[in-house]
Structure 1
Amino acid sequence: MIRLCDLIFSFLGLAVGFPILSILFIIGLIDTGSPMFRQKRVGRYGKAFTLVKFRTMPVSTVSVATHLINASSITRFGHFLRRTKLDEIPQLWNVLKGEMSLVGPRPCLFNQEELIEERRSRGVLQARPGITGLAQVNEIDMSTPVLLAETDARMLQSLNLKNYFKYIFMTVAGKGSGDRVR
């Protein structure tokens, strides 16, 4: 049932949000010259997939976990996108393709080995990664790999339709601030 909800909401979100996505794309083109950010991430079963987001930093910014980036690397428009969580909307395409879910553990980078191992040992990698989840609404980010993996595992053990909608609603309502930057 959750996968069906993912399909319906991601399709509707992309279809209805197309005019907004187009405007954000054009502004991002002016802001960074390359509005879309693509990055290999750890997906279900530990397999690679390409995550898509709106770019919030210059193209030249090094590709590392967000908590390792200096806040001055984020553009003014990027700050707006992150604060409103609009940078995440293109991930609806990843959800539609089945690489992600709306709710699940945030996909990490392959160089975040401690987090990958913690997630593997708790069975977290068996799930599709998500746009939001329990860790995100409680402001737990990838800078605390053990706590994040424990929280992801706890979320997956109790994930049902009620909690699925709860995490989505909490995210849309502004709960959680996303990954920290220095």
Structure 2
Amino acid sequence: MKRWTNPKPFGGSVTVTAYAMLCIPTNQCSKSGSISVYGGLKTKMASACCTTDNCTPTLPSLPSSSSSYNGVVCQSCTSSTSTSCSTSNTVQCTGDENKCLLYTLNSAGSAVSNAFRGCASQSICDIGSLFSTSNVDIKYTCTSGGGALRHTFYLPALIGLLLLKFLF
């Protein structure tokens, strides 16, 4: 199975289009999705497949853009030296990006590690650890949108209210 992938990051005035041909499981064919991180950087991806030997799939269609906020808020950060990052920065998710994503890459052979957090569409989350090999481990880990941020606010507020009740 071969597929074209077309990651297309855009933020500000920079647009980059790239294609790659890979062999993948059939359940990853005809997928598209997007990722957004703090600072306005957005990446769109799409796949197209063909099933015969030495075939060339058609170029995939990228998902449409949406600037409509969907109510989901995710932490957003990047790290070029570690498989984790933590921040108080957040990004408001738009369109069908209703999951919070932690992307990690760890390359044992070259000691390369990086990570980022942001918003993602479900199809990006479905990739999971599809691209892991013996030397490179790439993971897409998603959570329900913004739950951790809401709990972070509610727990201190609840504790404060309980303290006020017991003190007065």
Could you tell me the TM-score, scaled by structure 1's length?
0.23
Higher relative CO (Cα under 8 Å, sequence separation at least 6) belongs to: 1
Greater share of residues in strand: 2
Could you tell me the TM-score, scaled by structure 2's length?
0.25
Higher radius of gyration, 1 or 2 = 2
Greater share of residues in helix: 1
